[in-house]
Every structure is written in C-alpha cells, then in structure tokens.
Amino acid sequence: MSLGDDSLEWHSILDALKNIPVETARATLGQRGTVAYTDGACIQNPGGPAGWSVILASVDHVDGEHIREGAPRIECYGHIPESQPPPIIAPRLRLCLPRCVSRRATSL
C-alpha cells in the first residue's frame, strides 16, 4: 500500500473526493483512517484516456487487502482525458552554406 503518487489517476481521484462532504465521509468511514482501492487504470493505460474507480473503506473494516463484506464504503469513479505531451521547442538553427560562385569559362 502507498499513500498515493503523482499519477494522473491519483490527482483525478483527489479532485473527485473534494466533492464528498466531510460529514458524509466521517459518518461512513470513521476517523481512524481510510484505505483507498483503485482499479489501476493509469498503470494499464499511462497517459490516458482512461476511466477509473476507487472504493474507500475504513481501516476498521479492512482485513489484509480485502474489505469485509457489508462494510460501509464510498465509491467514486471518473475519467482522465488523454495527457498532452509537452510542446517540442525546436532549437533555432542557422544553416550556413558556402556561396555558389558561378564562373564562366573563358576561352584563351
């Protein structure tokens, strides 16, 4: 288990969780701690686009890596748009070619 990471999925989940009132989360999950299980959409499809889902459960109802049957939980889902690569900034190049000098052949 980890406390999160810097992936698109994790940031999308955190943004979605901001929409859950604190009172609802506290009443459902308690105050001791929460475990978040995600489907790993960004691991399977890094850079998106990807849908995701997360289940939040109280640590009091988690046994190892499983949530006890019937335990209160909060389920969220969302979508991550395709990430855009950073723009490629081409270096400025100056092409220097030798001058072509045309000389006419002269007869002697």
In SS3 terms, 85-103 reads as: CCCCCCCCCCCCCCCCCCC
Distance CA 2, CA 54 (A): 14
Distance CA 68, CA 13 (A): 22
Retrieve residue 14's tokens. 């955190």
pLDDT digit string, tens, across residues 48-88:
677 788 888 999 999 988 899 999 999 888 887 777 766 66
Residue 56: closest CA among 70, 31, 76: 76
Residue 88 inside a domain? The answer is no
Residue 3 inside a domain? The answer is no
Confidence of residue 101 (pLDDT cuts 50, 70, 90): very low
Domain that holds residue 64: 8-80
Confidence of residue 102 (pLDDT cuts 50, 70, 90): very low
pTM for this prediction: 0.60
**How many CA atoms lie within 13 Å of 8's alpha carbon, on the beta-carbon side?**
19
Name the domain count of the chain.
1
Q: Residue 56 forms beta bridges with which residues? A: 36, 74
Direct distance between the N- and C-terminal alpha carbons of the chain, in angstroms, rounded to an integer:
91
Structural contact between residues 39 and 98, judged by C-beta atoms closer than 8 angstroms: no
Residue 86 inside a domain? The answer is no
Residue 97 inside a domain? The answer is no
